[in-house]
């Protein structure tokens, strides 16, 4: 079976021939029609997430999929062959840059009926991230003020729309060229990060969703109102995350040191900082599919690549200036 993966950390992505998936009792076997491309794929390839996700090489990459069910395990009741589905397979079971993949049924949902398979494949990881950040962690409600950084990116485009659906007042940071696009998504205030300082323009926010980390995260804490919360998806990871993920004591101490500065600053300001590493959830994807079909969220596909161009798609991340997600279509 054709797939794309790597043999050694930092080595280039390449086409490989792998065995057909093994279908367990609770698994859904999917013929891949399209696969989304995420920064997480590149972080895994380069070893940046090796401490959190220690994959044994060789690794087939890919965290988003849309396609057709072609087989099910004997305990599966929710899906049947012929169903159109989408998913973000759980960690250590990734591998959507392939012709077929077996995924635990609890990670799978029926695709939104109103979008293409490429559009469906663009959603799982970023939509789950936005949902878990804004709904679960941020508890965003009508009237809240929410700042979403990188509003033209994969997570940002979905998070803006979700925050507006929840009734929030939304600010976002983008380049000037994407300002009108961000407003079309629903942003109430658009900050051009190249010419404006969001810290000087904004204050009194309830929630910040930060995908950049570093100094941007530190400055984001200062636009929160007392009791507000910054949710980081780029890091630094916290000891609380390490504990919830079941990581060892050494990593807990490492994350304690990495996040000590931002946690201390948050305490001084009377706000909170949490690190989010999204998790797979078919239940959340079912809710998201309903929002898509209702017109509350529309997927943003900025670029498509053929299956043979999968290495090019991964290399394009952060370099090509497209909006939303890149998607690979599989013949």
CATH number at residue 37: 3.90.180.10
171 shares a domain with 235: yes
Token pair recorded at residue 49: 């997430």
Which residue in this structure is represented by tokens 């300001």? 269
Does residue 280 form part of some domain? no
253 shares a domain with 235: yes
181 shares a domain with 88: no
Per-residue pLDDT of the chain (331 residues; tens, 9 = 90+): 999 999 999 999 999 999 999 999 999 999 999 999 999 999 999 999 888 888 999 999 999 999 999 999 999 999 999 999 999 999 999 999 999 999 999 999 999 999 999 999 999 999 999 999 999 999 999 999 999 999 999 999 999 999 999 999 999 999 999 999 999 999 999 999 999 999 999 999 999 999 999 999 999 999 999 999 999 999 899 999 988 888 888 888 999 999 999 999 999 999 999 999 999 999 999 999 999 999 999 999 999 999 999 999 999 998 878 999 999 999 8
Instruction: State residue 15 phi and psi, 5-degree precision.
Output: -75, 135
Helices (H), the chain: 39-45, 117-121, 124-131, 154-165, 179-185, 198-201, 214-221, 239-244, 249-269, 282-294, 310-315
7 shares a domain with 134: no
Token pair recorded at residue 130: 């936005």
109/106 Cα distance (integer angstroms): 8
324 shares a domain with 189: no
Does residue 288 form part of some domain? no
86 shares a domain with 196: no
CATH number of the domain where residue 142 is located? 3.40.50.720
Beta pairing partners, 103: 28
Enclosing domain of residue 113: 2-122+299-329
Does residue 291 form part of some domain? no
- What's the domain count of the chain? 2
3-state helix, strand, coil in the chain (%, to 5): 35, 25, 40
28/249 Cα distance (integer angstroms): 35
Token pair recorded at residue 261: 């500065």
198 shares a domain with 74: no
pTM: 0.96
Token pair recorded at residue 113: 């009926």
Determine the 3-state secondary structure of 242 from DSSP. Answer: helix
What lies within 8 Å, CB to CB, of 75 at 6+ separation is 25, 26
325/152 Cα distance (integer angstroms): 10
What lies within 8 Å, CB to CB, of 188 at 6+ separation is 169, 170, 171
Does residue 292 form part of some domain? no
């Amino acid at each position: 079976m054709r797939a794309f993966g790597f043999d050694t950390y930092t080595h280039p992505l390449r086409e490989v021939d792998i065995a057909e998936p093994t279908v367990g009792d609770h698994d859904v076997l999917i013929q891949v029609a399209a696969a989304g491309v995420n920064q997480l794929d590149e972080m895994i390839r380069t070893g940046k997430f090796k401490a959190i996700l220690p994959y044994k090489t060789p690794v087939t990459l890919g965290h988003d999929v849309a396609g057709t069910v072609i087989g099910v395990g004997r305990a599966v009741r929710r899906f049947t062959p012929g169903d159109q589905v989408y998913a973000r397979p759980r960690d250590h079971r990734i591998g959507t840059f392939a012709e077929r993949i077996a995924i635990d049924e609890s990670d799978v949902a029926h695709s939104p009926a109103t979008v293409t398979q490429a559009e469906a494949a663009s959603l799982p990881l970023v939509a789950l991230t936005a949902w878990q950040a804004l709904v679960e962690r941020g508890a965003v409600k009508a009237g809240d003020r929410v700042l979403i950084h990188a509003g033209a990116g994969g997570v940002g485009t979905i998070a803006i729309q979700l925050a507006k659906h929840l009734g929030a007042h939304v600010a976002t940071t983008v380049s000037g060229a994407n300002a009108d696009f961000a407003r079309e998504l629903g942003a109430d205030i658009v900050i051009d990060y190249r010419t404006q300082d969001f810290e000087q323009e904004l204050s009194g926010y309830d929630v910040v969703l930060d995908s950049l980390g570093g100094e941007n995260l530190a400055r984001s804490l200062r636009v929160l109102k007392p009791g507000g919360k910054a949710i980081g998806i780029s890091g630094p990871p916290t000891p609380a995350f390490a504990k919830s993920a079941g990581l060892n004591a050494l990593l807990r101490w490492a994350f304690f040191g990495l996040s000590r500065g931002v946690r201390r600053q948050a305490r001084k300001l009377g706000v909170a900082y949490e690190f989010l590493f999204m998790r797979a959830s078919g239940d959340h994807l079912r809710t998201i599919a309903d929002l898509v079909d209702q017109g509350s969220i529309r997927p943003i596909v900025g670029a498509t690549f053929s299956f043979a161009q999968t290495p090019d798609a991964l290399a394009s991340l952060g370099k090509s200036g497209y909006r939303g997600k890149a998607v690979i279509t599989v013949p």
